[in-house]
């Protein structure tokens, strides 16, 4: 069994080319994790996810604890068996969804009590229970349980929230059961306040996590502020541990974050966009529902090697979306995930070649892409 | 280019083992055609359809003429290119859907004028236009345009309807543009009246079609009556032409029809059932939403080699359907189509081995399967 580890293979400025080793295999970084909320990347078989080039996926503690249930997944052999995904799986801690989806009941030092958005059942989530659930799911990477600070927020409230999350991070770290090839990541919080971000990063590194995430960003603060928060956070994180920017983002967000030393990403953007007819391409964003595609025999992206681009025209995708056919979301999700994986592959090559800045400038901004996070 | 042709390779009683040759390849019969209504077998890539064992698919003239339009499909290179399905495609004539889906305006000797169920546009369909559309779609097999008689119906009305369909069959045959490897099938009508079925079968054989369908069945008359109508129709159809029972059916319907000399089938049952959580198995029908599957680590069908059965448990399928995840319909559609293709393969082997009756008795009845036709 491999030890959980991270090696830096190359760097170009602050951009890092690395390799994560886990009990479930290796991940070349920078890497993008497709989101498999309910133990499925929506509309994709695991074979299709593999064919996009993805090596690691994310699943959601909050959704899975409510349905089908953590103990049930454990009985069924864990997430890898259930999803037929032998590679590494990272699970979030549930903190973000408790805030955004659940009917929030109360939060105190101990944890959060809320009602399920599925059946109204009362549930309590604490750092210890979140880590236990992630263990039951057999997550390769467990995330510390944190409070996701609302946006916007005063500095006083942001400080209180961040400090609570740091105490929860300590309890999460303590609750984590060490297993060879498995790891737990802490999460830097502090909203858009530089001093709080620094304080948080320093507090976490003292707890010796296997990796460090930057959370609470991409919640409305804008790209400039997000990059500023990375600039003040990453210098305090240890060089020999992977860094993960949660819930981000558009291609240019990813490129900018890699330039600031981030190694791992996840975002619902390629999958959610794929289901609604929005395509990512090397020439920018296309809305496949647009009438101008109705007789276009070109593929969605000439330079893409995904199944849809190899075999179907824009006109067919247009037809499928207009007719409400499932195959539209299936093909376009696979395409968008392939676009993201190609982007990560090209980022890795550019760092290796010492040409990251040049490559970064060539990535289109996809300004028309609707913002869509976790 | 191959000529359109049918050879009988073996027979066992009235059951026939044959091979259809077309411009787009061969089809081993008895064969089941998955339904690709709007130029897509719902939820399946063409690669997945191929992997179920299907060699020929059906598409719907009515749906495609309305969206994206026959002339547009012709501009895009025809159905095969659009769907990325290089194999044979049979298109129905639109008659059935005009009756079941359109707001019917008027029917006369010339044809049918109706309003589109999509945008209310007024459309006229005649035998000549139906055949022209199927030509524009590049259908390997064109179906004659017919009136699908309502059920139940008096003998007088059934006779009038059938005789109109026979005149339309003649006009369809005349309108068909002969191309090497392409064919047109006539359709036997006559509701549940033996004499009318005989009259219809005899009338059609005089028109020298490339194949003969039996239509207007599986509309509520019951299996016994359906088989009786086959018993009086097939003896009048030429032995050297393929016979197609439209819109049928459950596995035991198919087995009984093969026993009566039918070679080709289509039905929405495996695909529609797959989308709603109903699985066909060698042990009968399973509803994947049923709570008894929640912790069942067995595959849907132990003896099935489909992607889902090789890689996932009933518990996972149950979870996907309960959570409303697209992957449930995707996996179960592929499974059900595989079940149907395995059934056809086993039927072919049984006929070759002269053991068709024995095999027929071993096929479960799937009584719980909801009836669902075209």
Residue A373 binned pLDDT confidence (cut-offs 50, 70, 90): very low
Joined tokens for residue B213: 């369908």
- Residue A364 pLDDT > 60, yes or no? yes
What is the pLDDT averaged over residues B198-220?
Answer: 97
Cβ–Cβ below 8 Å for A326 and B331: no
What is the pLDDT averaged over residues B164-192?
Answer: 98
3-state class (DSSP) for residue B122: strand
Q: From CA A301, how far away is CA A359, in angstroms rounded?
A: 19
Residue A300 binned pLDDT confidence (cut-offs 50, 70, 90): very high
Question: In this predicted structure, what is the pLDDT of residue A367?
Answer: 77
Question: In this predicted structure, what is the pLDDT of residue A370?
Answer: 59
Give me the residue from B47, B307, B315 closest to A307, CB to CB: B47
CB-based contact (8 Å) between A322 and chain B?
Answer: yes
- Residue B371 pLDDT > 90, yes or no? no
Question: In this predicted structure, what is the pLDDT of residue B370?
Answer: 59
Q: From CA A221, how far away is CA A277, in angstroms rounded?
A: 26
CB-based contact (8 Å) between B298 and chain A?
Answer: no
Residue of B nearest to A77 (CA): B297
Cβ–Cβ below 8 Å for A68 and B40: no
Residue B1 binned pLDDT confidence (cut-offs 50, 70, 90): low
Set of chain A residues whose Cβ sits within 8 Å of the Cβ of B68 = 294, 315, 318-319, 322
**SS3 annotation, chain A:** CCCCEEEEEEEECCEEEEEEEECCEEEEECEEECECCCCCCCCCCHHHHHHCCCCCEEEEHHHHHHCCCHHHHHHCCCHHHHHCCCCCEEEECCHHHHHHCCEEEEECCCCEEEECCCCCCEEEECHHHHHHHHHHHCCCEEECCCCCCCCCCCHHHHHHHHHHHHHHHHHHHHHCCCCCCCEEEEEECCCCCHHHHHHHHHHHHCCCCCEEEECCCCCCCCHHHHHHHHHHHHHHCCCCCCEEECCCCCHHHHHHHHCCCCCEEECCHHHHHHHHCEEEECCEEEECCCHHHCCCCCCCCCCCCCHHHHHCCHHHHHHHHHCCCCHHHHHHHHHHHHHHHHHHHHHHHHHHCCCHHHHHHHCCCCCCCCCCCC
Question: In this predicted structure, what is the pLDDT of residue B298?
Answer: 98
Output Rg (C-alpha) for chain A, integer angstroms. 20
Reported pTM: 0.97
Set of chain A residues whose Cβ sits within 8 Å of the Cβ of B319 = 38-39, 67-68, 82
A11-267 CATH, one of 3.30.1330.80, 3.20.20.105, 1.20.120.140, 3.40.50.1970? 3.20.20.105
* Touching B: A residues 16-55, CB under 8 Å: 38-40, 42-47
Domain limits, chain B:
5-267, 274-362
Could you give the percent of chain A with pLDDT greater than 90?
Answer: 90
DSSP assignment letter at B174: H
Q: How far apart are the first and last CA of chain B?
A: 32
Set of chain A residues whose Cβ sits within 8 Å of the Cβ of B47 = 307
- Residue B54 pLDDT > 50, yes or no? yes
Question: In this predicted structure, what is the pLDDT of residue B373?
Answer: 45
Q: Which pLDDT tens digit goes with each residue over A96-132?
A: 888 888 777 799 999 999 998 888 889 999 999 999 9
Joined tokens for residue A263: 């190694």
What is the pLDDT averaged over residues A191-219?
Answer: 97
Cβ–Cβ below 8 Å for A311 and B82: no
Fold of the CATH domain B5-267:
TIM Barrel (3.20.20)
Q: How far apart are the first and last CA of chain A?
A: 32
- Residue A237 pLDDT > 70, yes or no? yes
- Supply the residues of B annotated as catalytic: 92, 266
- Residue A368 pLDDT > 80, yes or no? no
Supply the mean pLDDT for chain B: 95
Q: Which residues pair with B62 in a beta bridge?
A: none
Cβ–Cβ below 8 Å for A311 and B84: yes
Residue A372 binned pLDDT confidence (cut-offs 50, 70, 90): very low
Question: In this predicted structure, what is the pLDDT of residue B365?
Answer: 87
DSSP assignment letter at B277: T
Q: Pairing mode, if any, of strands A264-266 and A243-245?
A: parallel
Give me the residue from A42, A76, A313 closest to B315, CB to CB: A76
Query: Which one of B325, B327, B331 makes the best mutation probe of the A interface by having the most chain A beta carbons within 10 Å?
Result: B327
Cβ–Cβ below 8 Å for B315 and A40: no
Residue B103 binned pLDDT confidence (cut-offs 50, 70, 90): confident
Phi/psi at B313 (5° precision): -90, 165
Residue pair A327/A355 in contact by the 8 Å Cβ criterion = no
Residue of B nearest to A298 (CA): B76
Q: From CA B180, how far away is CA A82, in angstroms rounded?
A: 50
Q: How far is A297 from chain B (nearest CA, A)?
A: 7
Residue of B nearest to A41 (CA): B327
Q: From CA B304, how far away is CA B327, in angstroms rounded?
A: 18
Q: From CA A54, how far away is CA A48, in angstroms rounded?
A: 9
Residue pair B363/B343 in contact by the 8 Å Cβ criterion = yes
Q: Which pLDDT tens digit goes with each residue over A37-48?
A: 999 999 999 999
Which residue out of A12, A92, A301, A342 is catalytically annotated? Answer: A92
Question: In this predicted structure, what is the pLDDT of residue B278?
Answer: 98
Question: In this predicted structure, what is the pLDDT of residue B261?
Answer: 98
Query: How many Cβ pairs within 8 Å bridge chains A and B?
Result: 107
* Touching A: B residues 328-367, CB under 8 Å: 329-331
Output Rg (C-alpha) for chain B, integer angstroms. 20
Supply the mean pLDDT for chain A: 95
What is the pLDDT averaged over residues B49-78?
Answer: 97
Q: How far is A248 from chain B (nearest CA, A)?
A: 23
Question: In this predicted structure, what is the pLDDT of residue B104?
Answer: 73
Residue pair B19/B354 in contact by the 8 Å Cβ criterion = no
- Residue B367 pLDDT > 90, yes or no? no
What is the enclosing helix (H) or strand (E) of B31?
A: strand B31-33
CB-based contact (8 Å) between B322 and chain A?
Answer: yes
* Touching B: A residues 55-114, CB under 8 Å: 63, 67-68, 72, 75-77, 81-84
Cβ–Cβ below 8 Å for B325 and A77: no
Residues 6+ apart with CB under 8 A from B154: none
Question: In this predicted structure, what is the pLDDT of residue A66?
Answer: 95
Q: Which pLDDT tens digit goes with each residue over B36-45?
A: 999 999 999 9
CB-based contact (8 Å) between B121 and chain A?
Answer: no
Q: Which residues pair with A112 in a beta bridge?
A: A107, A125
Stronger pLDDT, B150 or B253, i.e. the higher one: B253
Place of tokens 């707890």: A207
């Amino acid at each position: 069994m491999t030890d959980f580890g991270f090696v830096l293979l190359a760097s170009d400025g602050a951009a890092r080319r690395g390799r994560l080793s886990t009990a479930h295999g290796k991940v070349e970084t920078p890497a993008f994790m497709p989101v498999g909320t309910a133990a499925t990347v929506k509309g994709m078989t695991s074979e299709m996810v593999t064919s996009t080039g993805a090596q690691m996926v994310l699943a959601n503690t909050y959704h899975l604890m409510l349905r089908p249930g953590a103990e049930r997944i454990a009985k069924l052999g864990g997430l890898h068996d259930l999803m037929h995904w032998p590679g590494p799986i990272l699970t979030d801690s549930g903190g973000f969804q408790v805030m955004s989806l659940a009917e929030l009941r109360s939060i105190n030092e101990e944890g959060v009590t809320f009602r399920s958005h599925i059946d109204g059942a009362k549930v309590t989530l604490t750092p210890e229970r979140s880590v236990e659930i992630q263990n039951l799911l057999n997550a390769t990477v467990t995330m510390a349980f944190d409070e996701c600070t609302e946006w916007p927020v005063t500095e006083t409230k942001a400080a209180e929230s961040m400090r609570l999350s740091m105490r929860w991070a300590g309890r999460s770290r303590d609750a984590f059961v060490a297993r060879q090839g498995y790891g737990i990541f802490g999460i830097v919080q502090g909203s858009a306040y530089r001093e709080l971000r620094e304080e948080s990063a320093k507090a976490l590194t003292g707890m010796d996590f296997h990796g460090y995430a930057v959370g609470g960003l991409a919640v409305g603060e804008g790209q400039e502020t997000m990059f500023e928060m990375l600039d003040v956070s990453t210098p305090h994180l240890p060089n020999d541990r992977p860094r993960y920017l949660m819930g981000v983002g558009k291609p240019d967000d990813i490129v900018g974050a890699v330039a600031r030393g981030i190694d791992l990403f996840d975002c619902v953007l390629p999958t959610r966009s794929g289901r609604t007819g929005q395509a990512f391409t090397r020439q920018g964003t296309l809305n496949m529902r647009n009438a101008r595609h109705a007789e276009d025999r070109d593929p969605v992206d000439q330079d893409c090697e995904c199944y849809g681009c190899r075999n179907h025209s824009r006109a067919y995708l247009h037809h499928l979306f207009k007719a409400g056919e499932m195959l539209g979301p299936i093909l376009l999700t696979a395409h968008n995930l392939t676009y993201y994986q190609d982007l990560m592959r090209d980022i890795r090559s550019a760092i290796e070649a010492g040409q990251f800045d040049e490559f970064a400038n060539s990535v289109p901004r996809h300004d028309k892409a609707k913002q869509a996070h976790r």
